[in-house]
Structure 1
Amino acid sequence: MSGGSAEQPAPVVRPAVWETYGPADLSAVPVFAGGFINFGFWKSVDLERPLSQGDRIRSEQDLYRHVLDAAAPAGGRAVEIGCGLGLGCALALDEYGPAAMTGVDIHPQQLQRAREANSAHLEAQPQRLRFALGAAESLPLGDAEFDSLFSVEAAQHFPDLSAFAREAARVLRPGGRVAVASFFTVDGAPSHAERLAGLLDSFASGLDIARPVSRLADALGEAGFADVEVASIGAQVWPGWDRWLARLWKPGTWPRNFLAAWEQQILDYYLVTATRP
């Protein structure tokens, strides 16, 4: 291995990210039932009836399935960037059949939780699953080591999307696929950063970074990727997410403003895919 495979210093974690995914342990918050830490893909859930915890967990799993369908990890070596508790890595192993699965996260406490949550997989399949500490912009991985790279609801935290795109190109083999799902500002939305900071505490605190989705698409193209595609999946994310939030948060509280930001065409949820030539 070469490039990023050399031993690297521990990555610098932004304060808001360190607190949220470390001491605060977002995975333990009831709104993220099941521990996947994503807003969910609600296409297969009936939103006209009361939602159950099973519905919520299914939505989180289905978001992973939607991304994994695009990443096509079957039979190859796959890596998830921003793996959190590693439950998406386990789902990929169980349902998509990659030859090997690596989860990368910037937070050491998250990786410890991931190893604990996936102890059975690690003991039963030590050659197929591993976790590594690293930043999206400086991956501790070898050149051309993977056939697919995916990331689910983590890119909103990445400080440098161009560096991430270059690293994705470096660690993927020719023909490798990248699939990124996250929320970005809508291209052309005026004063998006200021408007989002006024609506949503996660943007005001600096936890989430306001950038147009074209920033990621352009970065992938500049890094040499081909067939870059951007698809809005907001209609399958925001209404269901708000219905789930309504169980725990009253109207007018800031988490309910994700739906408002989408309706005002400031923010949307996207799946961005590309292929390394």
Structure 2
Amino acid sequence: MRPMVREAYGPADLSGEPIFAGGFINFGYWRAVDLGLPLGEAERVRSQEDLYRHVLDAAGLRKEPTEPAESRESTEAKGRKGPKVLEVGCGLGMGCAVTLREYGWAAVTGMDIHPQQLRRARDTHADLLRDEPERLRFVQGAAERMPFEDGEFDVIVSVEAAQHFPDLGAFAAETSRVLRPGGRVAAASFFTVDDAPGRPEELARLLETFADGLDIAWPVSVLTEAFTAFGLTDVRVESIGPHVWRGWDLWLGRWWSPETWPRNFLRAYEERVLDYYVVTAVRPE
């Protein structure tokens, strides 16, 4: 584990910061939020949940209507099973909870490299772990060395974690290995728009998290090429920056003035240095 990741998600605990309301740790997908109105915690949580919904939809998961308890018990007795989902970099597990709540019969594994985050996740979701142990578990593991069997999962998602991964090639290799044939991956994060020389230095000048090494200035092409190199197909890239950066910047404005470094995320986007992407791919049958 890289030192800055150990610190940010250990004693510092980013999930407890007010900017990440509700225990999520992402910039948010603000498309459904009216940015012309004052932003409160409810809108912030909605943006973070909506980012998960967008990624889960991109991964091919389908929402199912909630069944009455008695109907659910009857279906369980018949052995109905849904897709097996892995979240890489699950943090506090809030996205895992959204998946369980809204995406039918999915069984979700949340994996994180940081043991302190996993302890928090297990404490936060103690009731779910007790009541539905077949549908939720938390496992320690690295994106580059996943502790799972070949072909174990139908879907892999990763939300705003890939900017921390030191080896996107290894992440792609492990993703290909643990996906079943026909399985899908959807990874969302912020990447440089190209591999032009000097991009890491540009971001280090603008943003403290790139200067101190918490975030890595990966070009989005590194991930797409890695997915292809390790046998995944139908690799697609979607920019969702128009629905991320303005809302994120308005939210940051509650704590930071425009001349402070966190507000430079919007500047980096406007200067075409950084963008927010969802990258999807399929393991062939």
Report the TM range for the smaller structure's normalisation: over 0.9
Of 99, 102, 105, the residue aligned with 2:109 is 102
Match of 1:40 in 2: 28
CA distance in 1, matches of 2:197, 2:190: 17
Quick one: distance in 1 between partners of 2:100 and 2:60?
12
Q: Render the CA deviation track for 1:163-203: whole Å, top value 9, x for unaligned.
A: 00000000000000000000000115441100000000000
SS at match of 2:226: helix
CA RMSD of aligned residues (A): 0.9
Q: What SS does structure 1 have at the residue aligned with 2:187? A: strand
Alignment check: 8 A CA contact 2:60 2:184 kept: yes
Residues 200 and 257, structure 1, Cα contact 8 Å, conserved in 2:
yes
Deviation of 1:100 after TM superposition, in Å, equals 1.2
- Taking the aligned partners of 1:271 and 1:127, their CA distance within structure 2 comes to 29
Residue aligning to 1:193: 200
Q: 1:77 corresponds to which letter in structure 2?
A: K
Q: Measured at CA, do residues 189 and 54 of structure 1 come closer, stay the same or move farther in structure 2, by a change above 3 Å?
A: farther
Is 2:22 the partner of 1:22?
A: no
Distance in 2, Cα, partners of 1:32 & 1:100: 25
1:216 aligns to what? 223
1:80-229 residue pairs with structure 2 within 5 A? 80-229=87-236
Secondary structure in 1 aligned to 2:22?
coil
CA distance in 2, matches of 1:111, 1:24: 14
Deviations 1:240-269 (A, max 9, x none): 000000011111111000000000000000
Structure 2 length as normaliser, TM-score? 0.92
Shift of 1:19: 0.3
Within the candidate set 267, 270, 284, 1:260 is matched to 267
One of 47, 55, 59 as aligned partner of 2:43: 55
SS in 2 for 1:34: helix
| TM-score w.r.t. length of structure 1 | 0.94
AA partner of residue 270 (structure 2): E
Distance 1:197 1:98, change over 3 A: farther
Structure 2: tracts of 5 or more residues without a match = 63-81
